[in-house]
Structure 1
Amino acid sequence: MINFKSAIAAACFTLFLAPTSYGQDLQIGSNLQGLLKLAKERNPDLASMSFDANAASERVIPAGSLPDPKFRTEWRDITRMGEQGPTLSPSRVGSTRYLLMQDLPWFGKRELKRETAEALSEAAKVRVTSTWLELASKIKTTYAQLYYLDQSERLTQEILDLMVRLEKVAQVRYASGLAAQQDVIRSQVEQTAIRSELIFIESERRQLQARLNALTGRQADEPLARPTQIRSLPTPEVLNFSALEQRVRSNNPLLQVEGAQIKAAEKTRELAYKNRFPDFTVGASPIQYGNSVREWELMVEINIPLQQGARRAQERESDAMLSASRSRREAINNQVLADLYENVTGFESERRSLTLTTESLLPQSELNFRSALAGYESGKVDFATLLDAQKQIRQAKLNQVKAGINAQMRLADIERIVGEEL
Structure 2
Amino acid sequence: MGASVAGLLDYARSRNPDFAASTLEAGAAQARVDAAGALPDPRFQVELMDFTNTMNGRSTSLLPGQVGETRYRVIQPLPGWGKRDLARQAAEARAGQADAQRETAWSELSAEIGAAWLRYYGADRELGLQRDALLVLQGLEETALSRYRLGQLPQQAVLRAQREITAQRIALLAAEQRRKGLATALNGLLARVPDAALAEPADPPTLPERLDFAELVERARQRNPGVLTETLGVDVARAQREQTYRERYPDFSVGFTHNRPDEGKASWDLMFEVMIPLQQGSRRAQEREAEYMLSAADARRAAVANRVAAELGAAWAAYASGLESLRLLRGTLLPQAEATRDATRAAFAGGRADFDGVLEAERQWIEARTALLGAEVDARMALNDMEKLAGETK
Superposition TM-score, scaled by structure 2 size: 0.95
Q: CA deviation at 1:421?
A: 5.2
The aligned residue for residue 7 of structure 2 is: 34
Tell me whether 1:190 sits opposite 2:164 in the alignment: yes
1:298-313 counterparts in 2 under 5 A? 298-313=270-285
Contact 2:56 2:68 in 1 (8 A): no
Alpha-carbon distance between aligned partners in 1 of 2:218 and 2:40, rounded to the nearest angstrom: 44
Tell me whether 1:119 sits opposite 2:93 in the alignment: yes
Alpha-carbon distance between aligned partners in 2 of 1:184 and 1:143, rounded to the nearest angstrom: 40
Tell me whether 1:320 sits opposite 2:292 in the alignment: yes
SS at match of 1:58: helix
Q: CA deviation at 1:368?
A: 0.2
Q: Which residue of 53, 57, 63 corresponds with 2:26?
A: 53
Contact 2:184 2:195 in 1 (8 A): yes
Contact 2:113 2:189 in 1 (8 A): yes
Q: Counterpart of 1:325 in structure 2: which amino acid?
A: A
Which ranges of structure 2 fall in alignment gaps of 5 or more residues?
A: none
Q: Which residue of 20, 38, 61 corresponds with 1:87?
A: 61
Q: Which residue of 108, 117, 141 corresponds with 1:167?
A: 141
Contact 2:254 2:271 in 1 (8 A): yes
Note the alpha carbon deviations across 1:271-293, whole angstroms, 9 max, x for none. 11111222222212121124875
The aligned residue for residue 338 of structure 1 is: 310
Q: CA deviation at 1:298?
A: 1.9
Alpha-carbon distance between aligned partners in 2 of 1:347 and 1:296, rounded to the nearest angstrom: 80
Superposition TM-score, scaled by structure 1 size: 0.89
Tell me whether 1:43 sits opposite 2:16 in the alignment: yes
Alpha-carbon distance between aligned partners in 2 of 1:293 and 1:233, rounded to the nearest angstrom: 90
Alpha-carbon distance between aligned partners in 2 of 1:232 and 1:312, rounded to the nearest angstrom: 60
The aligned residue for residue 242 of structure 1 is: 214
Alpha-carbon distance between aligned partners in 1 of 2:375 and 2:319, rounded to the nearest angstrom: 9
Q: Which residue of 50, 74, 80 corresponds with 1:100?
A: 74
Q: Which residue of 380, 389, 394 corresponds with 2:352?
A: 380
Tell me whether 1:63 sits opposite 2:36 in the alignment: yes
Q: Which residue of 359, 372, 381 corresponds with 1:409?
A: 381
Q: How many residues align?
A: 393
Alpha-carbon distance between aligned partners in 2 of 1:395 and 1:306, rounded to the nearest angstrom: 80
Alpha-carbon distance between aligned partners in 2 of 1:283 and 1:222, rounded to the nearest angstrom: 66
Contact 1:80 1:93 in 2 (8 A): no
Alpha-carbon distance between aligned partners in 2 of 1:87 and 1:128, rounded to the nearest angstrom: 59
Contact 2:107 2:393 in 1 (8 A): no
The aligned residue for residue 197 of structure 2 is: 223
Alpha-carbon distance between aligned partners in 2 of 1:326 and 1:81, rounded to the nearest angstrom: 67
Alpha-carbon distance between aligned partners in 2 of 1:34 and 1:43, rounded to the nearest angstrom: 13
1:13-32 counterparts in 2 under 5 A? 28-32=1-5
Q: Counterpart of 2:117 in structure 1: which amino acid?
A: Y
Alpha-carbon distance between aligned partners in 2 of 1:357 and 1:292, rounded to the nearest angstrom: 106
Q: Counterpart of 1:401 in structure 2: which amino acid?
A: L
Contact 2:141 2:158 in 1 (8 A): yes
Q: CA deviation at 1:269?
A: 0.9
The aligned residue for residue 131 of structure 1 is: 105
Q: CA deviation at 1:130?
A: 1.2
Q: CA deviation at 1:80?
A: 5.0
Q: CA deviation at 1:261?
A: 0.6
Contact 1:144 1:230 in 2 (8 A): no
Alpha-carbon distance between aligned partners in 1 of 2:347 and 2:220, rounded to the nearest angstrom: 57
The aligned residue for residue 265 of structure 1 is: 237
Alpha-carbon distance between aligned partners in 1 of 2:265 and 2:235, rounded to the nearest angstrom: 51
Alpha-carbon distance between aligned partners in 2 of 1:396 and 1:58, rounded to the nearest angstrom: 58
The 1:291–1:57 alpha-carbon spacing in structure 2 relative to 1, beyond 3 Å, is farther
Which ranges of structure 1 fall in alignment gaps of 5 or more residues?
A: 1-27
Q: Which residue of 369, 373, 385 corresponds with 1:397?
A: 369
SS at match of 2:122: helix
Tell me whether 1:366 sits opposite 2:344 in the alignment: no
The 1:421–1:304 alpha-carbon spacing in structure 2 relative to 1, beyond 3 Å, is closer
Q: CA deviation at 1:88?
A: 4.1
Q: CA deviation at 1:390?
A: 1.4
How big is the alpha-carbon RMSD for the aligned residues of Structure 1 and Structure 2?
Answer: 1.7
Larger deviation, residues 50-59 vs 345-354? 345-354
Q: CA deviation at 1:395?
A: 1.3
The aligned residue for residue 348 of structure 1 is: 320
